[in-house]
Amino acid sequence: MKTRRIVTALVAWASVGIACGSCSSTPAGTPAPKITETAPFSGHGSTTQAYELGAKPGQRLILANRAGSVVARGTADRLGSLLIRNLAPGSGYTFRSQVGSHVEGTKPFTVLSTSYIPPESLYTSQHLHVGLNYIRMRDGVSLAATVRLPPGKTLADGPFPTVIEYSGYQIAAPGNLIDAILNHQKLDNPLLPSTSTAVGAVIAPLLGFAAVSVQLRGSGCSGGAFDLFGPPTIADGYDMVEAIAHQPWVLHHKVGMVGISFSGFSQLFVAGARPPDLAAIAPMSVTNDFYDTGYPGGIFNNGFAASWISERFANSEPAPSPGALSYANALVAAGDKNCIAAQALHLQNFSLAHQLGVTVYRTPSLFDPRWAEQWAKRIDVPVFLAGAFQDEQTGGQWPEIIPDLKNDPNVWVTLINGTHVDSLNPAILSRWLEFLDIFVAGAVPTEPPIISAVGPQLYPAIADAPAEAFPPLRFTNATSVAQARALFEKDDPRVRVLFDNGWSSAGPGALGPVWEQDFSAWPPSQAVATREYLGPGGTLATSKVGSATVSFRPDPAARPRNDLPQGNAWAATPPYVWAPVTGSSGIGFISKPLTHDVVVVGPSALDLWVKSSVSDTDLQATISEVRPDGQEMYMTSGFLRASDRKLDPSLSSVLHPEPSYTKQDAAPLPKGRFTEIQIPLLPFAYAFRAGSRIRVTVEAPGGDRPSWEFATPETGGKVVDTVSLGGVEASSLVLPVIEGVTVPDTQPACPSLRGQPCRAYVAAGNGG
């Protein structure tokens, strides 16, 4: 069950429950055949795992423990390899194989515990150079890692403040992305890193940092088997930090971590493992939990989430292959021996996609070890976290991580309206650079002249949109690092919310907020849960009505599956096709024109009393603003499969109902009577202007997000859902209203705000 109890890393690392895809079970204590000769293949121990290399394809293998009992049986893949997961730590393990009358066996090896710390010699014995390297991990596997220096520098110019970017994207590709962007070259060179890794490949070096781009285990030219943050992957994070920090060209022998998306949430796991020479982390555009992104509201996200996990598994295929990362294909073709050797275990990758089904519940053995929130609880280094409310990829639920960082005093979070790329907003990057200068470089912030020169080229290349000018850095006149740090800690709030990103002087849709508001915690303690009741005729008001009901026929085919069938969500003004909710397929409720500005910040909820003609129904709720000119702007959405309505009381509040999503808590809707269903709405921050109206719509999932789509049952319009509007069973919208805020700007044009599409307001079939 998903809970907020403090779970130690030992429990988390040890809870992966899949042994291997080609293994068979054996009764405990079954004796293994005794070894008669040394095997031509080898056996190795990893963190709670064992792997074999060099067997014949199809060869049947036995894993035996120190007592000589069979632990697992399996078959070598076409590369001659086998990996066994979920093993008890200990020495004396061997792989064995019966060959005629002989039994071949490997030398004994040790399966490592999650608490094992390697000797320092593992780190001091490795020497990294500029370009592509292979860093050896505690289990003998090597990770591909490319060292990138500021333009024009050599290692002799060091030591350098150093950051690591760590992911399974095309990150360790040794090509020069800076030159490609600045010289307007095509970005299809197979040796260029992906632009999604530009924080380490481009931005950090331009700002004077050495950056080490490390390839996640089991992908590209990194050895081992891919598993999204299984035990060895997290142990790798510890080892790579220490190996890099021990390099003579690393300033202070301390490193930071940077990156967006995959390179962002990887930092939460690594920092949770607490490598001693990690100085700070700066994750951007993260997710809090793979379940929340993969199954919003308990409904399979067969849009972005399905395609993302499938691409990650394809990228982990052994090179050469069509799905493998292009730089690995190129280096293998060129005869790179290290990259060729690294492919040996790539067929043993753990496919999370293959373990998940369309109707899966939140299975603890699959999701708890990969739950970033529980790793965040262990973080004890300075953190700079940033992300967007309307993130079309990882989703807007990521702020749930913020409360889990409560025990870390040095945390600074920035939230902004926008897309997945908007955490790179100039208003955020300036603070990000101050943070890195102070907490990683150990230096007074200095103004980087390169940014003003490169910025106009950088943002169109990365974000496909213009941006406001890079703000001047603060604290550049501090007399010492200690003074700069003290000023940073004094001046920067724990939570900083940026408003109206896209409505700036750089033009509609350009990266740049207009104003901001500071808070000491998330969700903001100042937020007042303000309830608006759903009424007859599509009204939304502060008081209940008498007994009334409204019915609709949820039909996912009534609207497009998403609101951006083509085009780039990161563009200044994407070609959204945000279809209205019409006819009987949905219902809408709209307030009277506001008499004053209403500022909303945080998560919200739609409490519905529902009965249905079927035992289960999938629902989507969306909040929007309807303006005096008839335009409607998107704010946020929430989703819920009605059978998953039971809340986890340890996580839930009035403004943030949190279902458990476990199989044991799922229940069909009772027939013929109303049941309370609380739909959690993703957080947002916006000032509804005087004269505008607040609207909430309810329909089948889909049509209101650019990349998220839903495996919701086709209904053909035959399902009837009825909502109670008044009396004891009164449905209502609960919003987190912040009182006393003066809004400094005019109402943004529609469209202009990033991540928030517009459409002409059309009333739903019930009048709202």
The answer to whether position 197 is within a domain reads yes
**Closest among 432, 652, 418 to 523, alpha carbons compared:** 652
Is 767 among the domain residues? no
How many angstroms separate the CA atoms of 269 and 283, rounded?
11
* Mean pLDDT (whole number) for 139-152: 97
Which of 1-10, 272-281, 521-530 has the weakest average pLDDT? 1-10
Residues 607, 487 share a domain: no
Res 239 pLDDT > 70 = yes
Lowest mean pLDDT among 97-106, 165-174, 230-239, 370-379: 370-379
For 21, 155, 574, 621, 688, the CA distances from 607, given in Å and listed in that order, are 43, 60, 32, 10, 21
Cα 367 to Cα 43: distance, rounded to the nearest angstrom: 29
Q: Determine the Cα–Cα distance for residues 302 and 289; give it in Å rounded to an integer.
A: 16
The span from the CA of 59 to the CA of 74, in Å, is: 8
pTM for the model stands at 0.95
Domain termination site, one of 83, 111, 139: 111
Domain at 311, CATH number: 3.40.50.1820
**What is the percent of the chain with per-residue pLDDT over 70, rounded to a whole number?**
95
Mean pLDDT for the chain overall: 93
* Exposure string for 700-715, b = 16+ CB within 10 A, e = fewer: bbbbbbbbbbbbbbeb
| CATH at residue 588 | 2.60.120.260
545 and 452 co-located in one domain: no
Reported as a pLDDT band with limits 50, 70 and 90, residue 363 is confident
Residue 22 banded pLDDT, cuts 50, 70, 90: low
Q: Is the pLDDT of residue 14 over 80?
A: no
- Shared domain for 680 and 713, answered yes or no, is yes
Q: Is residue 542 part of a domain?
A: yes
Query: Does residue 21 register a pLDDT over 50?
Result: yes
- Pick the last residue of a domain from 81, 111, 141: 111
β-sheet with 160-167: strand ranges across: 131-136, 142-148, 210-215, 160-167, 250-260, 278-284, 383-388, 411-416, 495-499, 515-519
Q: Taking 90 as the threshold, does the pLDDT of residue 338 lie above it?
A: yes
Q: Quick one: DSSP state of residue 197?
A: G
| Assigned domain for 468 exists | yes
Domain-ending residue, one of 56, 78, 111: 111
Q: What separation, in Å, do the N-terminal and C-terminal C-alpha atoms of the chain show?
A: 38
Q: What is the mean pLDDT of residues 310-316?
A: 90
Q: Total structural domains in the chain?
A: 3
- Between 622 and 545, the more confident residue is 622
Stretch (H or E) spanning 163: strand 160-167
Mean pLDDT of 523-549: 96
* pLDDT tens figures, 643-681: 999 999 999 999 999 999 999 999 999 999 999 999 999
Q: Are residues 84 and 127 in the same domain?
A: no
Q: Are residues 104 and 154 in the same domain?
A: no
740 and 638 in a common domain:
yes
For the beta sheet containing 49-53, the strands, ordered from the edge strand earlier in sequence to the opposite edge, are 42-46, 49-53, 82-84
Residue 636: pLDDT above 70?
yes
Residue type, 556: P
Helix (H) or strand (E) holding 51: strand 49-53
Judgement on whether residues 498 and 368 belong to the same structural domain of the protein: yes
- Let me know the angle formed at the C-alpha of 182 by 176 and 184, rounded to the nearest 5 degrees: 100
Tens digits of residue pLDDT in 571-608: 999 999 999 999 999 999 999 999 999 999 999 999 99
Distance in angstroms (rounded) separating the CA atoms of residues 188 and 318: 21
pLDDT, one tens digit per residue, over 178-192 is 888 878 788 889 999
Per the domain annotation, does 3 fall within a domain?
no
Which residues have CB under 8 Å from 39's CB, separation 6+?
55, 95, 96, 97, 104, 105, 106
CB 47 within 8 A of CB 84: no
Place 10 in a pLDDT band, splitting at 50, 70 and 90: very low
Cβ neighbours of residue 551 closer than 8 Å, sequence gap 6 or more: 720, 721, 722, 723
The CATH number of the domain where 80 resides is what? 2.60.40.10
pLDDT of residue 25: 64
In a domain, 181, yes or no: yes
Q: Residues 163, 72: one domain?
A: no
User: Do 425 and 302 reside in the same domain of the chain?
Assistant: yes
Is 174 domain-assigned? yes
The pLDDT of 690-719, averaged and rounded, is 97
Residues across the chain = 768
Q: How far apart, in whole angstroms, are the C-alpha atoms of residue 528 and residue 184?
A: 50
Q: Do 740 and 601 share a domain, yes or no?
A: yes
**Could you list the residue range(s) of the whole structural domain that residue 28 is in?**
9-111
Mean pLDDT computed over 681-687: 98
Establish if 765 belongs to a structural domain.
Answer: no
Q: Is 503 in the same domain as 556?
A: no
Kindly state whether residues 186 and 91 are assigned to the same domain: no
Where would I find the beta strands (DSSP E) of 512-661?
Answer: 515-519, 528-535, 539-541, 549-552, 586-590, 598-612, 618-626, 631-641
